[in-house]
Structures are given as C-alpha cells and as structure tokens.
Amino acid sequence: MSTNCEFVLLMHSDEIFKPTNTGRLIADILPGQTHVFCWSRTEPAEDLLALLNDERRRCVLVFPTEAATTASKPHEVIYTLPEDGKITTFILLDGTWKQSGRMFHLSRWLDAVPCVQLPDVLVRGYAVRKSHQEHYLSTAEAAGLCLQMAREPCVADALIDYFQLFNLHYLATRATQPPIIGELHLRMLNYR
C-alpha cells in the first residue's frame, strides 16, 4: 500500500530481532514510506538527521503527550495536522514502554520535534505484551492512529487488521496450534 505520510521507526537495539516486535508490520504494509533507524542516544544516523531537517517534511514525535509536556524540556504538542503540502513524518520510538521512555528522555537531538496528540478511538488489542498504562500502545497500534489522524482510514484499517492477524498467529504459535483461518484472513486478501 502507499500513503501521503511517512514513518520513521527509531528502534531500540533490543527490539530488532524480537518476535513480538510490531514495528516491522508498518514496513510490511508501507515499504515505500517507512524509514528504519537504530536508536543512538548520542550519535543518530546522518540520514535520520537529514530527514528530520528536511523542510519538505513535518516531523512529529509519537509519544504520550502527558510525558511530553512535563519533560525537563517540554515539547510542543500538535493536535491536528494541517494540509499544507508537507509530508507528515511520524517518528515512532520502537521498543518496550520502558525503553521508549528512556529513548524519549535521553535523545536531546529530538527536543525540537513536536509531539502529536493521537486520537483516542482505537480499541487496544495487543495480546502479546500487556501495558499497565491506558495510553501505552504497541508500535503498530500507534501507527494505525497516526494514519487515522493523517486522513488515511483505508491504510489504517489494513494495518490494524494486519496487526490483529499478527496477534492471532503469534498466540497460535505459542500454543503450538495452527491459527484459525477466518474473516480476518479474507479481509487481508482484499487489501492487495
């Protein structure tokens, strides 16, 4: 699929080969609009910095705004995305919730990037890792909300369906059973 917005997956090194990682689902659905970088506290990739400074882009950091506004250096919060011709580029911190918090607070080179307030409309469905906080989402769930906010509902639906399929297959694998093939599989076939 394709979309008018793009994603930057800023991956914690522990997350790269985890079977529970949902960031890769975004790259599967949107390979042409997904950029992946390994996080570094002090030495971010030059390509990443160039992307962040590209004047044709509106880069926004996806992180709970409660934390963003109370950080030692508060981030600006964006509630709606203007339609001004810029490429909206969502930066997703891809790691556990604890790792993502650490990435957010220690990445001084992200201080000038505003945070986005995501719509609160998605039913949380991450069956593999459980969160103790209501605003903590998997990377794929957060990307689905970003797509809704960017007025890309068809792509958002495809990503959320793919995420649910991932959960179904992962849990079946853990139970050493084949997944039950159903309506979700048929819907995924229609996205081609």
One-letter amino acid of 127: A
Question: 75: pLDDT confidence band, cut at 50, 70 and 90?
Answer: confident
**Residues whose CB is less than 8 angstroms from the CB of residue 12 and which lie 6 or more positions away in sequence, other chains included:** 39, 93, 94, 95, 96, 99, 100, 103
Q: What average pLDDT does this structure show over 1-14? A: 96
**Residues forming a β-bridge with 89:** 6, 59
Residue with the larger pLDDT of the pair 87 and 127: 87
Q: How far apart are CA 73 and CA 69, in angstroms?
A: 8
60 in helix, strand or coil? Answer: strand
Can you give the pLDDT at residue 131?
46
Percent of the chain clearing pLDDT 70 (strictly above): 89
Question: Using CA atoms, how far apart are residues 2 and 167, in angstroms rounded to an integer?
Answer: 23
**pTM score of the predicted model:** 0.89
Whether 88 contacts 60, CB under 8 Å: yes
Q: Are 152 and 4 in contact (CB under 8 A)?
A: yes
pLDDT at 107 over 80: yes
Cα Rg of the chain (Å, integer): 16
Q: Tell me how far apart the alpha carbons of residues 137 and 95 are, in angstroms, rounded to a whole number.
A: 11
* Count of helix runs (H) and strand runs (E) in the chain: 7, 6
Please check whether residue 61 is in contact with residue 75, taking contact to mean a CB–CB distance below 8 angstroms: yes
Whole-number pLDDT of residue 70 = 72
Q: Identify the DSSP state of 178.
A: P
The yes-or-no verdict on residue 113 having pLDDT over 90 is: yes
Over the stretch 121-175, which tens digit does the pLDDT of each residue have? Answer: 644 444 444 444 555 789 999 999 999 999 999 999 999 999 999 999 999 988 8
Question: What pLDDT was estimated at residue 125?
Answer: 47
pLDDT digits (tens, 9 = 90+) for 12-68: 999 988 988 999 999 999 999 999 999 999 999 999 999 999 999 999 999 887 776
